[in-house]
Amino acid sequence: MDNSTNWQTRLHFLGIALLNELEQHAVLQSFPANTTLVREGQYVKLIPVVLQGAIKVFSSFEEKDLLLYYIQASESCIMSFAACQYNQPSRIMAITEEDSEVLLLPADKVQRWVKEYPSLNQLFFQQYNQRYTELIDTINHLLFNRLDERVYQYLLEKSRVKNETQLNIRHRQIAQELGTAREVVTRVMKRLEQEGRIQQQDGLIKIM
């Protein structure tokens, strides 16, 4: 597979001029699933643009985590962007959800590119907006939905991101990504199964 031209077509919306800059200064890198890319408190010097796969972004707080959103193809990470612009430490944790291919842009260059290339400026505004909206949804779910619904939505979203109808995932992980406990998830899953909304077999979860 010709990666170099590949990502250029995928990121075509950034414009030829910027693509040329990227070709020179950005680094293409692959990560296996479950690689931790950023930890909380870390200072970041590279800004990722996902080409393939997905990165999941967490908030961690006092030993407990909460899945905030996924970064998918053609998307970038506003937290790294912010972290480099204001030289703040990262407030989130980022882990590859699947084997992923990522274009890494040097932070100092991005500072300049944002000013020179409206397409990149546009991308980050759009990303900020999208992430912000997602967070508001997350908050509303947290505040007003029962755990049943949160778990179900979580499964739907994960299935959408991974593009699989069968999910291979442990109760423990679900619990961790939703910031709750394993037994609680087990019970909720039982209920969802009884309600005919999911099926569990051999550690696989099928969404109906």
Partner DNA sequence: GTAAGCCGGTGATTGGAGTCACCAGCCCAG
Partner DNA sequence: CTGGGCTGGTGACTCCAATCACCGGCTTAC
- Residues that bind a copy of itself in the complex, under the rule CB under 8 A: 59, 61-62, 64, 66, 68, 78, 82, 85-86, 91-92, 115, 118, 121, 124-126, 128-129, 131-133, 135-136, 138-140, 142-144, 179
139 binds, among DNA, a copy of itself, none (CB under 5 to 8 A by kind): a copy of itself
34 binds, among DNA, a copy of itself, none (CB under 5 to 8 A by kind): none
Q: Phi first, then psi: give them for residue 165, nearest 5 degrees.
A: -85, -25
Least distance to a copy of itself from the beta carbon of 77, Å?
12
**133 exposure class (CB count in 10 Å sphere: 0-12, 13-18, 19+):** exposed
CB distance 117 to 60 below 8 Å? no
Spatial separation of the C-alpha atoms in residues 167 and 200, rounded to whole Å: 10
Nearer to a copy of itself, 139 or 156 (CB): 139
Nearer to a copy of itself, 39 or 162 (CB): 39
Nearer to a copy of itself, 57 or 205 (CB): 57
**Strands 36-38 vs 93-96: parallel, antiparallel or unpaired:** antiparallel
Chain positions contacting DNA, by CB under 7 A: 146-148, 170-172, 179-184, 186-190, 200, 203
Least distance to a copy of itself from the beta carbon of 22, Å?
21
DSSP assignment string, 123-185: HHHHHHHHHHHHHHHHHHHHHHS-HHHHHHHHHHHHHHHHT-SEEE--HHHHHHHHTS-HHHH
